């Protein structure tokens, strides 16, 4: 069976909430259209989409919205990881039946798994699917690091057309090189740090990038500059982008607040609401600094 060669810039859609904290479909569609208008190759529903704060009905709903608005303009990838293998299989099969191009499969977040049990979790889910699986190591949630050996074993077992990777363990660029070496340069790797280390990772072999919608325009510009060999343009965007990511990635909740602040100011969502409870709310000075650096990035891209 031929599988799609998913590649390029695939932004994570931030879930917009209405006054009742239900999914705001109009804002969702507006975000998706914006991503494609600035050059994205597809979209992702991931962890910063607040899926861990959704019930099973909402996860199905956002998957269906992603397919509805994401196709036919690009690829659609939806995160389907869960705390139990049974739930991960259920979410993954629902996504496959809904018509996604691949699932983004994150490990459990509450259990510290041995390499053997982590490998079993992934195998048990992948065997139930026919579409590609992007193996997601989320550094903000992982109890134990996902080993290079385990990831290479999955690629060897299921093949490079079925297995993709979104590694986030630090130091990120050297880990990309280790994974490429362990897989004979067959790994299709997606940068998942918002473009923070993209220049370094680019030269180690990248297949794509998965930022969030707040910075998709900047990552598309950076991606195209690197593809064209235009290092002056790449550096003009990459350095302020890396600084912005340092501000935003203090925690997942910090990222969600700042990302939605940017989207709200750009008129892409009606409200910057984040579902409670949260561990962090940025202060006024942080919002002001984010606004300043966004202006720098907009100028660099224009």
pLDDT single digits (tens) 110-131? 988 999 999 999 999 999 999 9
pLDDT score for 85: 98
pLDDT of residue 256: 97
Bridge partners, residue 76, by sequence? 43
pLDDT score, position 170: 85
134 beta partners: 104, 164
The closest of 63, 81, 66, 6 to 32, measured between CA atoms, is: 66
**Structural contact between residues 79 and 49, judged by C-beta atoms closer than 8 angstroms:** yes
Cis before residue 277, ω within 30 degrees of 0?
yes
Cis peptide bond N-terminal to 144, omega within 30: no
User: Which residue has tokens 């074993």?
Assistant: 153
The CA distance from 39 to 37, in Å, is 6
Task: List Cβ neighbours of 14 (8 Å cut-off, separation of 6 or more).
Answer: 31, 48, 49, 50, 212, 213, 214, 256, 259, 260, 263, 269
Domains of the chain: 8-229 (3.20.20.70)
What is the number of other CB atoms lying within 10 angstroms of the CB of residue 184?
Answer: 11
Contact call for residues 135 and 164 (beta carbons, < 8 A): yes
* Dmax (CA) of the chain: 53
Helix ranges restricted to H, 139-251: 148-158, 172-182, 198-205, 216-227, 231-248
Q: Cα torsion at 224, 227, 233, 237 (round to 10°)?
A: 60
Q: Taking Cα atoms as reference points, which of 159, 160, 154, 158 lies closest to residue 115?
A: 154
> Which pLDDT value is given to residue 157?
98
Contact 80, 104 (CB under 8 A): yes
- The tens-digit pLDDT sequence of the chain (302 residues) is 678 899 999 999 999 999 999 999 999 999 999 999 999 999 999 999 999 999 999 999 999 999 999 999 999 999 999 999 999 999 999 999 999 999 999 999 998 899 999 999 999 999 999 999 999 998 778 778 889 999 999 999 999 999 999 998 888 999 999 999 999 999 999 999 999 999 999 999 999 999 999 999 999 999 999 999 999 999 999 999 999 999 999 999 999 999 999 999 999 999 999 999 999 899 999 999 999 999 999 999 98
Residue 139 is predicted with a pLDDT of: 77
Long-range pairs for 121-124: beta carbons < 8 A, 24 or more residues apart: 121/85, 121/88, 122/150, 122/154, 123/154, 123/157, 124/85, 124/89
How far apart are the C-alpha atoms of 248 and 237, rounded to whole Å? 16
């Amino acid at each position: 069976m031929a599988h799609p060669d998913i590649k390029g810039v695939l932004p994570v859609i931030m879930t917009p909430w209405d006054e009742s904290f239900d999914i705001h479909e109009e804002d969702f569609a507006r975000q998706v259209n914006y991503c494609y208008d600035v050059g994205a190759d597809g979209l992702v529903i991931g962890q910063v989409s607040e899926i861990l704060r959704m019930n099973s009905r909402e996860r199905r709903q956002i998957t269906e919205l992603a397919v509805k608005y994401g196709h036919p303009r690009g690829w659609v990838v939806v995160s389907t990881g869960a705390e139990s293998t049974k739930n991960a299989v259920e979410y993954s099969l629902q996504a496959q039946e809904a018509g996604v191009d691949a699932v983004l499969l994150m490990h459990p977040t509450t259990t510290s798994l041995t390499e053997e049990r982590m490998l079993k979790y992934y195998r048990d889910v992948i065997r139930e699917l026919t579409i590609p699986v992007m193996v997601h190591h989320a550094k903000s949630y992982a109890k134990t690091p996902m080993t290079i050996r385990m990831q290479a074993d999955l690629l060897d077992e299921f093949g490079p057309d079925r297995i993709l990777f979104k590694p986030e363990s630090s130091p990120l660029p050297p880990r990309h090189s280790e994974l490429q070496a362990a897989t004979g340069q067959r790994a299709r790797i997606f940068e998942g740090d918002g473009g923070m280390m993209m220049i370094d990772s680019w030269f180690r072999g990248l297949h794509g990038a998965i930022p969030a919608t707040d910075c998709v325009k900047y990552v598309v510009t950076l991606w195209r500059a690197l593809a064209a060999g235009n290092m002056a343009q790449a550096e003009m965007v990459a350095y302020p982008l890396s600084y912005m990511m340092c501000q935003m990635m203090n925690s997942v909740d910090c990222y969600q607040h700042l990302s939605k602040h940017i989207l709200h100011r750009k008129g892409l969502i009606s409200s910057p609401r984040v579902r409670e409870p949260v561990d962090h709310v940025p202060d006024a000075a942080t919002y002001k600094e984010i606004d300043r650096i966004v202006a720098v990035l907009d100028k660099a891209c224009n």
